[in-house]
Chains A and B, each alone.
Chain A
Amino acid sequence: MSLFDNFKDPELCKALLDRIHKELDGELRFMEVCGTHTVSIFRSGVRSLLSDKVVHLSGPGCPVCVTHDSEVAAFLELAGRNAIIATFGDLMRVPGPDKKSLKSAQAEGARVKVVYSPFDALKLAQDNPGDKVVFLGVGFETTAPAIAATVKVAREQGITNFSVLCFHKLVPPALDALVGDPELKVQAFLLPGHVSAIIGVEPYRFLAEKHGLPSVVAGFEPVDILQALHLFVTMRNEGRAEVVNAYTRVVSDAGNPKAVSVMHEVFEPADALWRGIGLIPGSGLTVREEYAAFDAMRVFGMELKDVPAIKGCRCGDVLKGKLSPDGCPLFGKACTPAAPVGPCMVSTEGSCAAYYKYKV
């Protein structure tokens, strides 16, 4: 048995589940912030084993789901400008305002290439010197440092046909906005492992200190998740709220200062639009002036355009934990993975897609 297997151990999970259910007094409404947690909770079967008293809510932690309609419209506009678009695979099927996606744009002749790393996109630029290559910078603090490092390398190597459409979002400001909502009924936060590996634990302290919400940075295996739930129960029973790092095998309390520093060297915080939520001050990243030559918005002279919200889509309420995916009137009817109306259904890590795909 490898160390990895220990975090899937059924016996350990059963013991943790027993303790959670035995020690829990009343209802526990927890929200996971990260899409990978969402999928893991369903895929591992953890969700089907939780009692009704443990209410599971999925938050705004799927980078595809929170990409604003106007941002989707921007990368589709770029695809129509004969640039080579390099993207992570998740974005291929996200519908734009006119229901077009990168996948349909590609079928109509747009040059779109799925890459596994931003450095693959840089290589694409080197291999196609006569074309402009744009990498779609969508994601949280997890992916931003690698993309920043790619921009630095591009500048060092004098590559002038590479740019990034920077729609990165930052998790702590989004959580701050979320907990400020008086209608929010979340009692504990399962904090993202990957994002925390970069930013550490400090940026989440306000959840416990200002709002009294127990919060745990956790890994993605069933034992990680159940251990975090048990910590919520314990903290509540003991009348305390802390931010606990329970993913110490990957996350150090200080995070990865080198990655953060690269990210801040190339990008700077800016206001950002979140799909279904709206504008959150300081919750995004934009390319710094010194690196303007690598900012696709400036290179192509683009501006975000106002895009009307999709009628009937309740993804915003789902992202805020106010509505369960199957509570949306479109769920499974007008909105399915085959014909997604909202982003929560299109992304593999979206909560609607997870409900649709995994719930028996």
Chain B
Amino acid sequence: MPYKMAVILDKARLERIKGTQLEKLVKDLYGGYLKVIELEVPDDIAQRILKEFPRARIDARGFIEETPVVFKRELFEVIAQLKSVGREVFEELLKPERLSKIKEYAAKEEEYLPPPELPEEKK
């Protein structure tokens, strides 16, 4: 069974894919409160992701979750760049040079992540 991954689309990401064929793939989640693009992850790729990022796991929905934040960010970048959600996205993402950069950032990320500013604090 192929696993899945979802990339959350905030306003900025939605803007980036506006007018492209990717826009048609945007899915509503939880009554439209969230917009996502879902990707199928072939089994060999899924196993590789789980191996490269030991904390990544398959959740009850069959999605690969708990990958580093930087991995998800890069995933969106590649999707936007290739305008695709196919296997080639992961092949690009897991190229040795790109992967080692992701891992380098991921290690720092596990030490510290900047807390968000809450909406009421922005006012």
| Chain A complexes with chain B | no
Taking Cβ atoms with an 8 Å cutoff, the residues of A that contact B are: none
